[in-house]
Each structure stands twice: as structure tokens, then as C-alpha cells.
Amino acid sequence: MSRLRHALGSRLSCITQSEAGMATAEYAVATVAAAGFGAVLFKLLTSDIVREFLMDLLSQALSSLF
């Protein structure tokens, strides 16, 4: 019984050690993806076409309220 417990314990430690850095790698990938999405969104919102569309939309909304 002790040999089985030792074998299972060593197998379990081998599995957990091989995935020790997975959470860090997943956070790094998610951070890079979020930064890329933010850059694309920034470029999109600061483009002339979108800025003009948003200003027209805002001015229409404000003019209809008053």
C-alpha cells in the first residue's frame, strides 16, 4: 500500500509541476491580447470618419433634447 501511495504521489507531483507556469502564461497572453484590442480600438475611435460620426450623433442628440 505504501508503494502505491508513493507512486501516486510522485505521479501527481510530476503532473502539477509540469503545469506550474500555465496560469502565468495564460495571463500574459490575455494581457497582450487586451493591449492589442485597446490599440485597435484607439486607432478606430481616433480616425476622422468615426470622430465625425460620433460628433454628428452627439450634436443630433443634444439638439433634439432642447
Cell of 23: 496560469
Give the pLDDT of the chain (66 residues) as one tens digit per residue: 677 677 767 766 665 555 556 688 889 999 999 999 999 999 998 999 999 999 999 999 888 765
Quote the longest CA-to-CA distance of the chain: 83
Q: State the pTM of this model.
A: 0.51
What size, in residues, is the chain? 66
Helix (H, G, I), strand (E, B) or coil at 31: helix
| Contact (Cβ atoms closer than 8 angstroms) between residue 9 and residue 15 | no
DSSP state of 51: H
Residue 46 φ then ψ, to 5°: -95, 5
